[in-house]
Amino acid sequence: MSAGLHFLLRSLFVLLLLLWKPIIVDLFCCFICMMGLGHEEGFGAPCLKCKEKCEGFELHYWRKICRNCKCGQEEHDIPSSSEEDRKVGKLFEDTKYTTLIAKLKNDGIPLYKRNVMILTSPVPYKKSVTIDTVTYEWAPPVQNQTLAKQYMQMLPKEKQPVAGSEGAQYRKKQLAKQLPAHDQDPSKCHELSPSEVRHMEQFVKKYKKEALGVGDVKLPGDVEVRAPDENNLKNGGGRGTSSTVGTMEKSPDRKASQYSCYHCKLSMKEGDPAVYAERAGYDKLWHPGCFVCGTCGELLVDMIYFWKNGNLYCGRHYCDSERPRCAGCDELIFSNEYTLAEGQNWHLKHFCCFDCDCVLAGITYITVNDKPVCKSCYMKNHAAICQGCHNAIDPEVQRVSYNNFNWHAKRECFLCSCCSKCLIGQKFISVEGMLFCSVACKEKMMS
């Protein structure tokens, strides 16, 4: 090879490298991001909903779903890790609930000190006695273990967080669903601008001050109540504070049956514990199984609640009542510009095809299971197949549907399977996707 040709090829290579460098860097960063997030969030964990149909959890690089099966992280059997306790620890940071967290010496990150309750009981076995141990992955942080045990027994069996049980799986799922990390931590969000970060930090600070609380388990007779201050109700939308909820003294003259649950309105039973929410005021109480979110109806995980306008909310639905949430990335929207489509809110950059992630602004899209899909992906992955020509049916053309079968509304597709007579506007007989214009044609074809 001549020196001149060698020099020319080297120059072309350098030029191409310079032109493609931004794309290569973006792709590399995207790959690193996906790999890092995937492994951090339980890469490869099986989906509890899709079972073997999912190849294992792989976190999408900006959606909060699995790239393989499109289910959320909470639907996968991801092993418990310190990330859950870090998330709740950060939520309680700079609040009155700092007694529920501890800061690690090595990094100073607040860690949730959830109360784990271990109960042991002797069980006769043949001629000896064995010890049966039951571990609750979370229990109310009360000094009286008998009270905590009573509380647990009043929860539905399938929601009691016994280690290794359906209830423990339920608690883990609700932690992910009710208290998403991206509702409180800007670093868990996708490419926020400095202005968005600032607005989010102000929002989090505000709800910690005005709405966040943790339920308190007590016997009704142990609490003397006083309704929240009227001025506070007017100014704070029904929010109570420690200065408005009254004293914590015993009230022996009042029977438990005289107390009624704020949720179901039924009377409390003698000796049963109740859950109180300080921000609501100690004149209100709930059965343990009734301490639920007013929107989703789910048990408030670890009794963590948000109080607004006389209602309890989980973290997710409180935030939804305050800010629009992007249907693409599941994050709260703090930018001034966003779009509304299909009855949902979207960041402008996240109004994308649910299958291929191409931006949908200005192009045709089709809604599939409430998710927008570009026309190309729809034709490839979701379109109905014509029984006549066996091709995908364009969503913008007319079709005929009958008994879960579909045809192009054309002479060459919607016709008799025996004599090829066009059946558009005519009576017909359908047998397993085949069409017949008459009983004679059906019998001739089926014989």
Q: How far apart are the C-alpha atoms of 200 and 211, rounded to whole Å?
A: 16
Confirm if 167 and 161 have CB atoms less than 8 A apart.
yes
pLDDT at 33: 43
366 DSSP β-pair partners: 373
**Cα 228 to chain center, whole Å?**
33
Q: How far apart are the C-alpha atoms of 167 and 171, rounded to whole Å?
A: 6
Tens of pLDDT, residues 147-195: 999 999 999 999 999 999 999 999 999 999 999 999 999 999 999 999 9
pLDDT at 123: 77
Residue count of the chain = 447
pLDDT at 11: 56
Confirm if 362 and 374 have CB atoms less than 8 A apart.
no
95: amino acid identity, one letter: T
Tens of pLDDT, residues 45-77: 999 999 999 999 999 989 999 999 999 988 998
Question: In terms of C-beta distances under 8 Å and separation of at least 24 residues, what long-range contacts does 71-75 make, across chains too?
Answer: 71/47, 72/176, 72/177, 73/41, 73/42, 73/176, 74/172, 74/173, 74/174, 74/176, 74/177, 75/47, 75/48, 75/49, 75/50, 75/173
**Residue 188 DSSP symbol:** G
pLDDT at 226: 52
Share of the chain above pLDDT 90, in %: 70
Question: Which residues, given as ranges, of the chain have pLDDT below 70?
Answer: 1-41, 104-106, 224-257
pTM of the model: 0.80
